[in-house]
Amino acid sequence: DTAVSQTPKYLVTQMGNDKSIKCEQNLGHDTMYWYKQDSKKFLKIMFSYNNKELIINETVPNRFSPKSPDKAHLNLHINSLELGDSAVYFCASSQEFPPGPRLNEQFFGPGTRLTVL
Amino acid sequence: ELKVEQNPLFLSMQEGKNYTIYCNYSTTSDRLYWYRQDPGKSLESLFVLLSNGAVKQEGRLMASLDTKARLSTLHITAAVHDLSATYFCAALGGATNKLIFGTGTLLAVQP
């Protein structure tokens, strides 16, 4: 069983479009995250939710809006996509916030590779 | 603001050799994490280090933490090809509890 799943795995779209990425975890974790990994592999946190409440909201364009309908789901909606939004987006979850201290308390999803043309 | 630097950025090593990846962070941090990422894949948690002098080992990898020097190391012993991957360290930002990642070290183990 997949612990953290994301859909879609690949997303190719035109500039200006609106798209969503979905994330689900079946681990019973309380905290979920969105990370962005750019073309140079640099990873940066975007958002975090704990028990459906937004607890980390990094300086990202307000075209990005997370939504957590319940503890097991965290979706990312992006409006008016731009070329610079092309990246791999990882969802993650952890039992506690911040993650750890025990190992195997944080799991990452497989990633969604977003390409904006 | 917490900054995390790793070096080297790229490491090519032969099987059977030992080497160390270094992770420096700029301000006090409560936790230090190490992750592995295979090409085109997700991140896998390797170690979580909590206190000064903490040392953890798993197979050929050993991670340590020196909070006074703000330095963590990932030591690779007798490298094998299967260890080829990108390794990231991440430090926990104090006030914000955000994970700040290093730049990653691409490890290529040559047979």
Mean pLDDT of B73-93: 95
Which segments within chain B are labelled E, that is strand? 4-7, 10-14, 19-25, 29-37, 43-49, 55-58, 61-66, 71-76, 85-93, 99-101, 105-110
Question: pLDDT of A4-24, one tens digit each?
Answer: 999 999 999 999 999 999 999
Using the beta-carbon criterion (under 8 Å), do B42 and A58 form an inter-chain contact? no
* Interchain CB distance below 8 Å, B42 and A109: yes
pLDDT for residue B80: 95
**Averaged pLDDT, B81-85:** 96
Nearest CA in chain A to B31: A101
Average of pLDDT values for B77-91? Answer: 96
The two tokens of residue A49 are 């939710």
Instruction: For residues A36-64, give the mean pLDDT.
Output: 91
Instruction: Give chain B positions within 8 Å (CB) of A60.
Output: none
Q: What does the DSSP 8-state code read for residue B41?
A: S
Grade residue B86 by pLDDT with cuts at 50, 70 and 90: very high
Measured in whole angstroms, how far is the alpha carbon of residue B64 from the centre of its chain?
Answer: 9
The average confidence (pLDDT) of chain A is 92
CB contact under 8 A, B86 and A106: no
In this prediction, residue A1 has a pLDDT band, given cuts at 50, 70 and 90, of low
In the chain, the amino acid numbered A112 is T
- Of the pLDDT bands very low, low, confident and very high (cuts 50, 70, 90), residue A104 is low
Which range has the worst mean pLDDT, A3-17, A28-42, A102-116?
A: A102-116
The Cα–Cα gap between A100 and B48 comes to: 7
Output the CA torsion B94→B53→B103→A111 (10° steps).
Answer: -80
What integer is the mean pLDDT of A98-116?
85
Task: Please compute the mean of the pLDDT values over residues B30-41 and round it to a whole number.
Answer: 93
Preferred mutation among A9, A53, A103 to probe B, highest tally of B CBs within 10 A: A103
Which pLDDT band, with edges at 50, 70 and 90, does A103 fall under? low
pLDDT of residue B111: 86
Query: Does residue A92 register a pLDDT over 80?
Result: yes
Alpha-carbon gap, residue B88 to B80, rounded angstroms: 19
